[in-house]
């Protein structure tokens, strides 16, 4: 059954016959032309003085105004027998105007007439869809156009187009129906890892989409509809998963489930000594994901990366100043998750701050963490000092010899400096 198009009601008074016609009393649709503009025509047809009325009037833009109830008898045909058995539809326009009528007007009128054709069982033909000009003159046998010899709708009205549209709207195609459900999902279901989704559909489904939290993530164009949904790209917790089935002519069905994603969290573990010197080895140990890469940041700046196990980084602490530094290991997995660990390290590389020989004593000042100071003469260790102050009586004449102080710190880190002559 077609739907009746929307109408605006502007009821007239005193210019029609109250009746209670059942739908089957209506046998004709009578097509008229206003011979005037839309609003003036409405005001005229609403007024008592006009002694004329019409059930409907349709503007050139396709707007429908109803003036008389369909069960009442409007005075439009100039023939009371026809009036009693018909619905009158006025169309804004001029009979003699070669511009004719707009497509919107034909469509609106045909939708309205199609609804009457089906609800009153009126055959869609020229015997039942007539113009004012076809109405017999009730007083002069053989004459037409009603009692006043009207000629509307005239030669610029296309009956072929009109009846084609009426037939089209009277018998709209049956709506396509599709349904979808996921037999292995329900509200509250726990999902993890790679979930195999399946859709159970009815009707001519052409495509099923998987929509996660409002975003289309997957689609399948061939039955049986189903596939793999990777849940590890989502945060653990509640998510909405929708299966949307699409059929022809906009047919659609949606099944929505609130599921709980619970995957092992993606975690990065690493440790570093509180104090570091020399080469520092850092290892990122990752669980719960499929790692794509691990990046190493030093004080917020990316300094290294690694794409394969065992994600071990060798960081040379001698390249930075002694003091506190922040190292961060940041991993990304194949599902787009990240895991990171920040490590604060105090760098304590050894250094020789200064050294002197005075009164036959060789004294060395150091910086950083120093475990021992070695004093070398001509490349040979002559003294090893394990506690400050690092001072040693020089029992030889330094002239012509090479004197080097070596500070050994954490992790075997070494700093050397020759004694200036
Ligand atoms: Zn007319």
Q: Are 90 and 75 in contact (CB under 8 A)?
A: no
Reduced to 3 states (helix: H, G, I; strand: E, B; else coil), residue 259 is strand
- Give the model's pLDDT for residue 11: 85
Tell how far the Cα of 148 is from the centroid of ligand 1, in angstroms: 10
Indicate if 351-418 has the same CATH topology as 267-347: yes
User: Could you confirm whether domain 8-170 is CATH 2.60.40.10?
Assistant: no
* DSSP annotation of 155: T
pLDDT under 50: residue ranges of the chain = none
The number of beta carbons lying within 10 Å of the beta carbon of residue 26 is 22
CATH superfamily of 351-418: Immunoglobulins (2.60.40.10)
Architecture of domain 179-261: Sandwich (2.60)
Strand partners, 328: 297, 342
Tell how far the Cα of 35 is from the centroid of ligand 1, in angstroms: 9
Tell how far the Cα of 26 is from the centroid of ligand 1, in angstroms: 18
Tell how far the Cα of 168 is from the centroid of ligand 1, in angstroms: 25
Instruction: Encode pLDDT of 90-134 as tens digits.
Output: 999 999 999 999 999 999 999 999 999 999 999 999 999 999 999
- Give the model's pLDDT for residue 421: 66
Tell how far the Cα of 32 is from the centroid of ligand 1, in angstroms: 4
- Give the model's pLDDT for residue 233: 87
Tell how far the Cα of 272 is from the centroid of ligand 1, in angstroms: 97
Tell how far the Cα of 135 is from the centroid of ligand 1, in angstroms: 10
> Environment class of residue 103 by beta-carbon count within 10 Å: exposed (0-12), middle (13-18) or buried (19+)?
exposed
Instruction: Encode pLDDT of 298-318 as tens digits.
Output: 999 999 999 999 999 999 999
Q: H or E segment at 298?
A: strand 291-298
Tell how far the Cα of 156 is from the centroid of ligand 1, in angstroms: 14
What are the boundaries of each domain within the chain?
8-170, 179-261, 267-347, 351-418
CATH superfamily of 267-347: Immunoglobulins (2.60.40.10)
- Give the model's pLDDT for residue 51: 86
State the pairing for strand pair 73-74/8-9.
Answer: unpaired
Tell how far the Cα of 33 is from the centroid of ligand 1, in angstroms: 6
Tell how far the Cα of 223 is from the centroid of ligand 1, in angstroms: 57
């Amino acid at each position: 059954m077609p739907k009746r198009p929307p109408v605006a009601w502007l009821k007239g008074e005193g210019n029609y016959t109250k009746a209670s016609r059942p739908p089957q009393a209506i046998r004709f649709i009578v097509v008229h032309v206003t011979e005037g503009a839309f609003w003036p025509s409405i005001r005229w047809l609403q007024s008592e003085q006009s002694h004329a009325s019409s059930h409907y009037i349709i503007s050139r833009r396709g707007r429908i105004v109803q003036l008389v109830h369909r069960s009442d008898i409007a005075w439009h045909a100039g023939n009371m027998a026809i009036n009693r058995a018909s619905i009158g539809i006025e169309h804004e326009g001029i009979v003699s105007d070669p511009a004719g009528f707009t497509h919107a007007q034909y469509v609106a009128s045909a939708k309205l007439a199609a609804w009457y054709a089906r609800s009153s069982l009126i055959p869609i033909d020229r015997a039942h869809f007539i113009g004012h000009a076809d109405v017999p003159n009730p007083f002069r046998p053989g004459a037409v156009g009603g009692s006043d010899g009207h000629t509307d709708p005239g030669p610029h009205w296309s009956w072929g187009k009109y009846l084609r549209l009426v037939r089209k709207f009277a018998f709209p195609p049956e709506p396509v129906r599709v349904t979808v459900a996921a037999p292995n999902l329900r509200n509250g279901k726990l999902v993890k890892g790679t979930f195999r989704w399946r859709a159970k559909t009815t009707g001519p489904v052409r495509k099923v989409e998987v929509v996660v939290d409002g975003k289309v993530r997957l689609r399948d164009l061939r039955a049986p509809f189903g596939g793999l949904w990777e849940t590890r790209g989502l945060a653990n917790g509640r998510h909405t998963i929708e299966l949307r089935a699409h059929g022809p002519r906009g047919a659609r069905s949606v099944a929505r489930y609130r599921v709980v994603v619970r995957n092992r969290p993606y975690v990065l573990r690493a440790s570093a000594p509180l104090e570091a010197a020399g080469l520092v080895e850092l290892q990122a140990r990752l669980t719960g994901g499929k790692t794509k890469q691990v990046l190493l940041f030093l004080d917020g700046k990316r300094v290294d990366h690694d794409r394969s196990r065992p994600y071990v980084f060798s960081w040379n602490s001698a390249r930075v100043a002694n003091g506190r530094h922040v190292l961060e290991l940041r991993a990304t997995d194949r599902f787009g998750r990240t895991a990171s660990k920040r490590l604060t390290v105090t760098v304590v590389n050894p250094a020789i701050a200064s050294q002197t020989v005075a009164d036959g004593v060789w004294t060395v000042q150091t910086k950083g963490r120093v475990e021992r100071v070695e004093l070398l003469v001509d490349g040979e260790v002559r003294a090893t000092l394990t506690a400050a102050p690092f001072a040693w009586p020089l029992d030889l004449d330094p002239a012509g010899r090479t004197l080097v102080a070596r500070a050994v710190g954490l992790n075997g880190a070494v700093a050397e400096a020759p004694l200036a002559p």
